[in-house]
Amino acid sequence: MESDRSRKAENILSHWLSQFRVALVHDWLTGMRGGERVLEAICDLFPHADLYTLIHHPGRVSPRIEKMAIRTSVLGRIPGAARHYRLLLPLFPYLIGRFDLSAYDLIVSVSHAVAKGVKHGARPLHVCYLLTPMRYIWASYGDYFAPQRASPVLRTAARVLRPFLQRWDRRTAQQVDHFIAVSRYVQSQAERVYGRAATVVYPPVDLARFSPLGPKANYYLLAGALTPNKRPDQAVAAFTQLGLPLKVAGSGPGEKRCRRMAGANIEFLGTVSDETMAALYRGAKALIFPGCDDFGLVPVEAQASGTPVIALAAGGALESVTPETGLLYTDPTVEGLAAAVELFERSPLRFDPSACVANAARFGAERFKRELRAQIDRAWADSGRPRRVP
């Protein structure tokens, strides 16, 4: 009798789950960076969801993401779009709006550009994990379209299109039911740009990938996407000036410029495997982080490897780096970074690897899943919907 009741309950639950439809939305899937690490953890929470994205470059994201039912826009059928998609930014609002997710019960978007602008009616609960308001038109506009980084034609196009994109970004923010911000820094941006409140759930770090065991080598490390807002050119210029060894692990639109200005002491490694990245973190004297990032998983990964961080005192670094685990400098120039590195050279032993590891433990992946799930459940209950999210 007991087993019959249990089987009946399981069948009812199984039927309900099969009717409950979840959609995940991500801007684009062309590589494994911080946003994709967040998406990977969300895929663990909702393994049977459909995943919508503007463009998917097969093989460039993790096997966990590749296993999802991935649906792409028409960009996926255009040759070369996976390499040059950034040039199509003005089309992104239209293309993301072509996805109609009105038939779903729950939408979870992971947005740093346009993912939150997906079309849906009143039925779905839309929860947006906000990596940043569209950085190209807000906080990092000056970084991406500075004269030394963009052609006159591109700068003119950006100036003309910026007001339209800002209006679209603000308008579509109002269709989100609940915002979850990647950091307190982004929480404040959501309030300032969108006029929307957001709760904070720090992103996940797979701490098991990293180990602090092993000797330090004689090099500094710059890691992650080489994009203008992360200021990789400042790191290359400072280390060329100092003559100290710097390894650069990562790629992006700023790579060519960095290579042109680099001295012989700068080594470019390109995109590396997770195993190589873990070894680079472990062996580095310190991680260099000169940009104002929305949160920045890279500093946390370095600390999980027992490696201190030299970071600009701005953005997410103020929330992930402590006085015991890194050196925060306030002068956002090449000279400011060079001075910070020289100070570190004089006192590297003040940073204890065990303190770095302990600080990184605050940002584990299981903690992220637990907190994100609690936020979604709370948003579901607050919306007045009759049943808890399965």
- The model's pLDDT over 223-252, given as tens digits with 9 standing for 90+, comes to 998 988 899 999 999 999 999 999 999 998
Measured distance CA(367)–CA(374) in Å, rounded: 11
Report how many helices (DSSP H) and strands (DSSP E) the chain contains, helices first: 16, 13
Is there a domain that residue 17 lies in? yes
Q: Is the pLDDT of residue 360 over 90?
A: yes
Q: Which domain holds residue 25?
A: 12-204+365-382
Q: Are residues 159 and 246 in the same domain?
A: no
Q: Is the pLDDT of residue 50 over 80?
A: yes
pLDDT at position 17: 47
Is there a domain that residue 282 lies in? yes
Q: Is the pLDDT of residue 9 over 70?
A: no
Neighbours of 356 (CB within 10 A): 27
Q: Are residues 122 and 97 in the same domain?
A: yes
Q: Is the pLDDT of residue 15 over 60?
A: no
pLDDT at position 387: 61
Coil vs helix vs strand at 337: helix
Domain count, the chain: 2
Is there a domain that residue 1 lies in? no
Q: Is the pLDDT of residue 18 over 90?
A: no
CA 367-290-334 angle, to 5 degrees, is 170
CATH number of the domain within which 44 lies: 3.40.50.2000
pLDDT at position 12: 44
Going by pLDDT thresholds of 50, 70 and 90, the confidence category of residue 369 is: very high
pLDDT at position 332: 96
Is there a domain that residue 268 lies in? yes
Dihedral sign (CA 12, 178, 107, 131): negative
Q: Is the pLDDT of residue 70 over 70?
A: yes
CB 54, CB 77: distance < 8 Å: no
Q: Are residues 200 and 244 in the same domain?
A: no
Q: Is the pLDDT of residue 2 over 70?
A: no
Q: Are residues 358 and 376 in the same domain?
A: no
pLDDT at position 85: 73
Measured distance CA(356)–CA(72) in Å, rounded: 40
Is there a domain that residue 388 lies in? no
Q: Are residues 33 and 155 in the same domain?
A: yes
The arithmetic mean of pLDDT across residues 294-318, rounded, is 96
Is there a domain that residue 2 lies in? no
Q: Are residues 374 and 332 in the same domain?
A: no
Stretch among 57-61, 84-88, 91-95, 278-282 having the lowest mean pLDDT:
84-88
The arithmetic mean of pLDDT across residues 64-91, rounded, is 82
Q: Are residues 183 and 277 in the same domain?
A: no
Going by pLDDT thresholds of 50, 70 and 90, the confidence category of residue 146 is: confident
Q: Are residues 236 and 334 in the same domain?
A: yes
The arithmetic mean of pLDDT across residues 79-96, rounded, is 79
Q: Are residues 359 and 373 in the same domain?
A: no
Q: Are residues 16 and 94 in the same domain?
A: yes
Strand ranges inside 253-359, DSSP E: 266-270, 287-289, 309-312, 326-329
Average pLDDT, the chain: 90
Q: Are residues 86 and 232 in the same domain?
A: no
Is there a domain that residue 4 lies in? no
| DSSP structural state of residue 148 | T
Q: What is the pTM of this model?
A: 0.88
pLDDT at position 355: 96
CB 250, CB 271: distance < 8 Å: yes
Q: Is the pLDDT of residue 343 over 50?
A: yes
Q: Is the pLDDT of residue 386 over 70?
A: no
Q: Are residues 253 and 378 in the same domain?
A: no
Going by pLDDT thresholds of 50, 70 and 90, the confidence category of residue 13 is: very low
The arithmetic mean of pLDDT across residues 135-149, rounded, is 78
Is there a domain that residue 46 lies in? yes
Going by pLDDT thresholds of 50, 70 and 90, the confidence category of residue 14 is: very low
